[in-house]
Amino acid sequence: MSKSDEVLWAAVAESDLTGIILYIAEESPGSAKKVLARIKSRTAKLTKSPMQGRVVPELLSQGISQYLEVVLSPWRVIYRVEGDRVLVVSVIDSRRNVEDILLGRFLN
């Protein structure tokens, strides 16, 4: 697949992103705006090359290979490609226990 028509955000991913931005905004509203713009800009680029991410290692070790991620340190944006669209399913701060978060979401 070389091109996607659109990037959609799952409700949980939107919630993840909102939580991250609100947390950052408590200390620095300007930084929060920059982080939001950076994440949104990076995910929008997935329409041109949706397979550019890497397979999520914590999920691959459990036999789950359909989820990809792009890393915008310290955040990991996790998505899957469905036909001609990209669905962002999580935005996780990699300083947290990512494996527990992911396995809790994707194995249940």
Strand partners, 91: 77
pLDDT tens digits, one per residue of 8-27: 999 999 999 999 999 999 99
Residue 85: in which H helix or E strand, if any?
strand 85-93
Q: How far is 4 from 57, CA to CA, in rounded Å?
A: 23
Q: What is the model's pLDDT at position 2?
A: 55
Hey, which residues does 6 pair with through a beta bridge? Answer: 85
Is 84 within a domain?
yes
SS3 2: coil
Percent of the residues in the chain that have a pLDDT greater than 70, as a whole number = 92
Tell me if 41 is assigned to some domain. yes
Q: If residue 33 lies in a helix (H) or strand (E), which one and from where to where?
A: helix 29-44
pLDDT number for residue 64 = 86
Total tally of structural domains belonging to the chain: 1
Asked if the structure places residue 1 within a domain, the reply is no
Q: Does residue 93 form part of some domain?
A: yes
Q: Which pLDDT score, from 0 to 100, does residue 97 have?
A: 72
pLDDT > 50? residue 47: yes
Domain membership flag for residue 43: yes
The answer to whether residue 19 is domain-embedded is: yes
CATH number reported for the structural domain that contains residue 25 in this entry = 3.30.2310.20
Q: State the residue range of the domain holding 67.
A: 6-106
The pLDDT mean for the chain works out to 89
Confidence of residue 61 (pLDDT cuts 50, 70, 90): confident
* C-alpha span between 34 and 39 (Å, rounded): 9
Is residue 23 in some structural domain? yes
What confidence tier does 60 reach under pLDDT thresholds 50, 70, 90?
confident
Q: What is the pTM of this model?
A: 0.86
Q: Which of the two residues, 102 and 49, has the higher pLDDT score?
A: 49
Is 10 among the domain residues? yes
The token pair at 102 is: 């992911």
